[in-house]
Amino acid sequence: MLLSNACEYGLRAALYLASLKQEGYVPIRKISGELDISFPFLTKIFQMLTQAGLLTSYRGPNGGVALSRSADRIRLREIILAIDGPALFEECVLGLPGCGEQKPCPLHARWAVERDRIEQMFAASTLAEMADKIGSPDVRLKSLC
């Protein structure tokens, strides 16, 4: 699996927030209901995103979470880094520590190309851009059943 469960949930939830195009805080309970993600687990994930500065949160009635910047200035790469860390974009495909140009594994040259492309793909994708797609009738953020 490319991304951890937590990271998949975090991306989906952030895209959902961006798709609302709404001022103000959205309760985590609502998001977890909409996306079929367990509320306590999603709470933990949002805490990571809040600590990373990608979300702001507010307690109490009418509280919840909100994007800390406009959705066109948050890139998916940032969310992945906040939740899963940089491993995906740095590690050897064979798991060898220190694999790089100097001491490569046999796959390094080929994998490094794809790894960089994946990082570029996530770095080039903003929440706004991706959330826009949710307007299309078939595009979805949750399981069908």
DSSP structural state of residue 18: H
What gap in Å lies between CA 133 and CA 12, rounded to an integer?
13
Minimum CB distance to its own copies smaller for 21 or for 133: 133
Residue 130 CB, shortest distance to DNA, in Å, is 21
The verdict on 128 binding its own copies (CB under 8 A) reads no
The site for its own copies, by CB under 8 A, has a size of 42
Nearest residue to 13 (alpha-carbon basis) of 33, 135, 57: 33
Restricting to residues 34-93, which ones interact with DNA according to CB under 7 A?
38, 40-41, 43-44, 46-47, 50-51, 57-65
Contact flag: residue 17 with its own copies (CB under 8 A): no
In DSSP notation, 62-74 reads T-EEEESS-GGG-
Which listed residue (22, 24, 29, 113) binds DNA by CB under 7 A? 29
Name the DSSP class of 67: E
User: Which of DNA, its own copies, none sits in contact with 79, Cβ below 5 to 8 A by type?
Assistant: none
By CB under 8 A, the residues from 39 to 78 that bind its own copies are 76
Helix 5-20 and helix 76-84, axial crossing angle in degrees, nearest 10: 140
Look up residue 38 and give its two tokens: 């367990």
- Binding residue for its own copies, selected from 29, 72, 87, 90, defined by CB under 8 A: 87
State yes or no: residue 107 binds its own copies (CB under 8 A).
yes
Task: Specify which residues 55 forms β-bridges with.
Answer: 67
